[in-house]
Chain A
Amino acid sequence: MAVCVAVIAKENYPLYIRSIPTENELKFHYMVHTSLDVVDEKISAMGKALVDQRELYLGLLYPTEDYKVYGYVTNSKVKFVMVVDSSNTALRDNEIRSMFRKLHNSYTDVMCNPFYNPGDRIQSRAFDSMVTSMMIQVLSRAPCCRAGEALWA
């Protein structure tokens, strides 16, 4: 259901960023970039305490008119940022969490690959396919949402 998925390294450079091609991708990139500030803010706010206590799922970082941005950070300060369409009201918090969980799992698998050097761009096909599956749902749902909106209107 995500419109855009990004994996940001600890140093705040993207390891992986992918969005629905139909949209203006640059906009999503910019949104992700700006969301990093919010992520850092949240991390620092909670991070004062033990890192262990910090929950990985950050929740809604900030909503915009059309989109909502959710964040997730791992214990190694690798951040996942997901942009979802606001019109997709069916998305619940739990679903977002599960999506982040899947992302995290896939990311872990990528890290396990000895041929992957941390800090490299993520080029794993498995990761790509997983992200695609997450995003495809958005595409599949979008029309429905739009249709629903049309009905409402």
Chain B
Amino acid sequence: MEGLTLSDAEQKYYSDLFSYCDIESTKKVAANGRVLELFRAAQLPNDVVLQIMELCGATRLGYFGRSQFYIALKLVAVAQSGFPLRVESINTVKDLPLPRFVASKNEQESRHAASYSSDSENQGSYSGVIPPPPGRGQVKKGSVSHDTVQPRTSADQQEPASPVVSPQQSPPTSPHTWRKHSRHPSGGNSERPLAGPGPFWSPFGEAQSGSSAGDTVWSGHSPPPPQETWDQTTVRTVASATTANEIRRQSSSYDDPWKITDEQRQYYVNQFKTIQPDLNGFIPGSAAKEFFTKSKLPILELSHIWELSDFDKDGALTLDEFCAAFHLVVARKNGYDLPEKLPESLMPKLIDLEDSADVGDQPGEVGYSGSPAEAPPSKSPSMPSLNQTWPELNQSSEQWETFSERSSSSQTLTQFDSNIAPADPDTAIVHPVPIRMTPSKIHMQEMELKRTGSDHTNPTSPLLVKPSDLSEESKINSSVKFASGNTVADGYSSSDSFTSDPEQIGNNVTHQRSHSGTSPDNTAPPPPPPRPQPSHSRSSSLDMNRTFAVTTGQQQAGVVAHPPAVPPRPQPSQAPGPIVHRPVDADGLITHTSTSPQQIPEQPNFADFSQFEVFAASNVNEEQDDEAEKHPEVLPVEKASDPASSLRVAKTDSKIEEKTAASVPANVSKGTTPLAPPPKPVRRRLKSEDELRPEVDEHTQKTGVLAAVLASQPSIPRSVGKDKKAIQASIRRNKETNTVLARLNSELQQQLKDVLEERISLEVQLEQLRPFSHL
């Protein structure tokens, strides 16, 4: 670069500016905010600025070295003077006035000028938009230093333009004007106890610490708070940037007395910075206490203000909280009464522009604040770490504490989970808890069987076998249980299962199939029946089983035949199986039935037709049939209980049933229903029974009744809905059980009567003989 000759004033000025811009003291000024602001403050068109920068070589170098900077400044002066920008003009233009930078710069310049020229100034409280750059070292005047000290809000810095804007009023010119301008428009407070110090930007909120002048008037916004006291904190309004920001931000009107204007906010922020340079950090309670105590408000009111403003109750003030507190203090000072609760406009907001904007300038700020001669916020440099760590810790701990405490306020007394009702009534009711699987398995097997169609011995059979085994067990158990009460249900279920099997069989099959299909469902509904009468199940087990088997095998006529009488006991479980195999022999039948399930898988259930035939053919023993019917019913209900008793019961039942034709169907249905309930097991049994039935054809215990029953069963519309069927089956079973019991009762009554009669007769005889005895 050509040699640059500067006058002394220029030299000083430029060096000051350079120092100001040279935040990092690296003798190189990158195009940081300050520089930009500076240039913007020069109020030159952007292109001119660019040109200047290019000319001075900064663009080449990428930064502003001292010489470049000086050249730039010179060019600014040139441009401002209206001379064309030329490199040569640097030296050619003579008598250039010092470059003028608006706003802060302007200020500075004026300051500088003043200082240089008159050395008077010092208004310590410049809240220059451009923070008192040279203030530091070169500040000849305290003012400058003050300015530098002023932590310009980042916003300010970033907004070089703002300087122009904010001070708007202020920039203009002389310090005095500034002074006035510093008054925030809203504030209008004119009391500026300007002690004489130079202009200061008032309220823009940058209260900078340390007014060296000591009289920094703290121009609070509206109310001139105890400026004297506050003044210590160098009110420096960083007009420019801050104002710009503030103005931008400031969308509110002044109607709301609690609204913080931009100027005020800026001021507050600046004050905040004096205590805590990091705008994202906290001011610890103690520091805040000291700070606010200066306001000379009574402690009680300060305490209340604190309560209002410490929003998160952490014992520390964030920027927003601090601003709110400050604002409240100001208001109070002006005579406003403190609100009971924090006004909305003072509510702490989330991180806003300033903070984010400030981030970049933080370091600069810090450095700045550290450097100022007047170490106003001496705490800042030392504080940061403390402030940041402690408040955070404090806050976190407080928050934690509060949270834990507060969150636990909800007294959730014991919450009882809604009692989970037994998922499946069947399972609940049915002791043996027929494995749910069985029915499904059975079902599946049935399905498979169906699918396999003719081939019953197909692989599915093994499946059937296995599940049948399981199911058989369960069925047996369930049947046993069911026997007592839910013969009907069992029968139903059995019928269902049968229906499932019988798909291939035909009507009955289909019927059963539907049932079986519904068996899982049946399992659900049926459950109730079995429970009630375990005894019954026992007693009637045999019969039931038989009947059950019969019913199941209604398709298998023969099956039913077995049951009667036979030692139901062992067999009940086997009822399904044995029935198929040995319908004649009760025991065998039972065993048969019991085994039937197992065998059933092997035997196609579908081949019920044969059973049917046999069944139809075999009207041999109605009793047997009945019993068989009963048995099937019993089977599902109770497996092993009391074969004899069950037989008897079955017999009686059968008799009764014989008596009542209608009952037969019921029995049959009962038989089927019993099968149904123990759904899974039943099904299996049904299947087995179905299978057995064909085998049992010979037994043909089933009389026409059974056939009728069977017929009736198939008639049951499968489509009706398995649930309904199940319910109906259970109902039927219950009814049947009731009838059985009723019959038993009647019979017993009859017997009783007979016995009584006998007794009477005997007594008569005795009486007749007595006279002799008397003698």
Residues of A near any B CB (own CB < 8 A): 94-95, 97-98, 101-102, 104-105, 108-109, 112-116, 123-126
Contact = CB atoms under 8 A, between A and B. Distances in A.
Nearest to B307: A126
Contacts of A105: 402, 405-406
Contact of B405 (A104, A112, A113): A104
Contacts of A116: 303
Contacts of B306: 113-115
Given A94-B413, A109-B307, A115 B299 contact: yes
A104 B307 CA distance: 16
Given A105-B405, A105-B406, A124-B303, A112 B398 contact: yes
B303 A97 contact: no
The binding surface of chain A is classed by DSSP as helix
Contacts of A101: 405-406, 408-409
Nearest to B288: A114
User: How extensive is the interface on chain B, given as a class?
Assistant: 20 to 34
A91 B183 CA distance: 59
The binding surface of chain B is classed by DSSP as helix
A108 to B, nearest CB: 6
Contact of B315 (A98, A104, A114, A123): A114
A114 B411 contact: no
A112 B285 contact: yes
Contact of B307 (A94, A98, A102, A124): A124
Contacts of B307: 109, 113, 124-126
B289 interface: yes
11 contacts: A94-B411, A95-B411, A101-B409, A105-B406, A112-B285, A112-B313, A114-B285, A115-B289, A115-B292, A115-B306, A125-B304
B314 A112 contact: yes
Interface of B: 284-286, 288-289, 292, 299-300, 302-304, 306-307, 310, 313-315, 340, 398, 401-402, 405-406, 408-409, 411, 413
Nearest to B302: A115
Given A115-B302, A124-B304, 12 more contacts: A94-B411, A95-B411, A98-B409, A108-B405, A112-B315, A113-B315, A114-B285, A114-B288, A114-B289, A115-B303, A116-B303, A124-B307
Nearest to B299: A115
A31 B402 CA distance: 30
Contacts of A125: 304, 307, 340
Given A113-B303, A116-B303, A108 B401 contact: yes
B289 A108 contact: no
Contacts of A94: 411, 413
- Shortest Cβ-Cβ A-B pairs, 6 listed: A114-B285, A115-B303, A114-B289, A112-B315, A94-B411, A105-B405
A94 B410 CA distance: 10
Contacts of A104: 405
B574 to A, nearest CB: 60
B442 to A, nearest CB: 52
Specify which of A102, A104, A112, A115 lies most central, judged by the most chain B CB atoms within 10 Å of its CB: A115
Contacts of B303: 113, 115-116, 123-124
A105 B409 CA distance: 10
B189 to A, nearest CB: 26
Nearest to B405: A105
B321 to A, nearest CB: 12
Nearest to B287: A114
A78 to B, nearest CB: 14
Nearest to B289: A114
A50 to B, nearest CB: 20
A108 B313 CA distance: 9
A114 B289 CA distance: 6
B310 A112 contact: yes
A101 B302 CA distance: 26
A98 B398 CA distance: 19
Specify which of A105, A108, A113, A114 lies most central, judged by the most chain B CB atoms within 10 Å of its CB: A114
Given A112-B398, A114-B286, A123-B300, A97 B310 contact: no
Contacts of B289: 114-115
Contacts of B405: 101, 104-105, 108
Contacts of A124: 303-304, 307
A71 to B, nearest CB: 18
A99 to B, nearest CB: 9
A19 to B, nearest CB: 22
Nearest to B303: A115
Contact of B411 (A97, A123, A126): A97
Contacts of B315: 112-114
Nearest to B412: A94
Nearest to A122: B303
Contacts of B413: 94
A123 B307 CA distance: 11
B523 to A, nearest CB: 44
B326 to A, nearest CB: 15
Nearest to A113: B306
A116 B292 CA distance: 13
A104 to B, nearest CB: 6
A101 to B, nearest CB: 6
A81 B300 CA distance: 25
Contact of A98 (B288, B340, B411): B411
Nearest to B285: A114
Contacts of B408: 101
Contact of A108 (B286, B302, B402, B409): B402
A89 to B, nearest CB: 16
Nearest to A111: B315
